[in-house]
Structure 1
């Protein structure tokens, strides 16, 4: 079934039938898409010891290669049939623009809101009141200088929001900070560009700091104590790596870095001597 760990073993023998244990084996896998399946995601995962997990149902093939020798095994993974019915309670419709990331939050007025960005749609961000999920209301929109507003974030205290920019006309991109003191009437507080002109794809907001990716190279830490004058603090760029997203919890920044895996950096935990002003690498896992 999908999700089960299937353990394979490759056994090599010499001409006399003796087992060879010191020959390196490279594992790989393939997948035949089920009829009608479009945009197939990552289909499975294989480890160096030959352990394989099928992520989607269908025909999977696991291959072991040693030199010019290859052995393979093909099998069908059945779905786990873990199904739960969902009921659509409400729909915040947007008929003209393609929305991107969203962020749900409680505003300083105690009501519940959602912000969404837009993809190649003129740089719009849309604001919804979702206090009553069955009666979602679009309350506002803001247009910024960007082709795409990919990510939107709101600080935990609801004080400010940030809109990422990609494809600005001046090619400086960066991000736009919003004053959310009146959540139903968001207004632009400032535009921040230092260190992030290459484009911001993802961000993470805390009450005091904003962590913004810069063109996939690094993330920049910005002091948000004054949202009308945000200030560059520091940055972290992992060697020989590209970053896709960052999340911060309890003073540790966790960034997803493609082939590098997950990188953990001390940005305020302190056990490794790190702070927002001095990010310190802790570990990575791939």
Structure 2
């Protein structure tokens, strides 16, 4: 079983010349041991050390750490917990006695971070006019005051169901001419608006293009038209879109008629306006973008490689590692790649590295730091062969020298 990095560091900080004494601390109690906070709230934890007889240990000091998530919250050196995002935060209090070489003893508390209640309900597109006999399905999403997405149930209501009826799933049905106010609520959050229902004069509907042939991933934007008996466009016509495979396959169409298929096959796209429908068919072929690759050069590395990012100049590349660094590589001659520099950080894994579009700046992400301070390091790529941390503030390790952060 591997010892956590912070325990290793605590042990390393003890004076090596002192003999190991009997363990004076048998347990550490953290109070409260379990608690629930809302996002943005704080809680003061208290720790106490006891010996094997259950008596308090005088002179014990505590170091506080968190685990289980980075965004969920943090704890400061005094045991003050600040809740950041929904989730679970495990807080550890590590006890030691200054000046004595003892085994660190740990107490734990489990903090559950609860979301804030719904403060608003967002509807992507709210119709203000509908034709008699037509229907639409709306999606409502509750959000907390800090813009965290909520997943509470929503309730729909219409002030005049004989004009606009709405079911529990957000399906609006225009019944007769007139006006009605539709509302949707989640907890105490409510949104409402007025819909005017007008007579339906549509006699013909159509889709363009009628048929299409594309490849997987291509987008087909269908245009829906509705006209009356005099062939004049009816502007308030808003159809319901659907798509189904002819056989097997998967595709989607949005509320604006944009179609895209993930799998090859034939698909039927339907736009329905009340009892009238228009349809189109799309034949989708495989994209077939694969091509053979050829190895033209090799580059031995001391650490396992993770990801590769090409600089916009096409002459340099950067390799992240399952380790503490990224490599800068000269690929002007692909058959002879050469390491030109590296950026070393306090980490066990460097997940990603990428540059901005102009190639002047970039970022690398890291985790597994000995200080438990993970995150990103901002880099300058003005010299593509020698990336550098932007400033010592961006490098949380003890020293930051030139292009190497150690």
TM-score w.r.t. the length of structure 2 is 0.33
Larger Rg: 2
Structure in which a larger fraction of residues adopt strand: 2
TM-score w.r.t. the length of structure 1 is 0.44
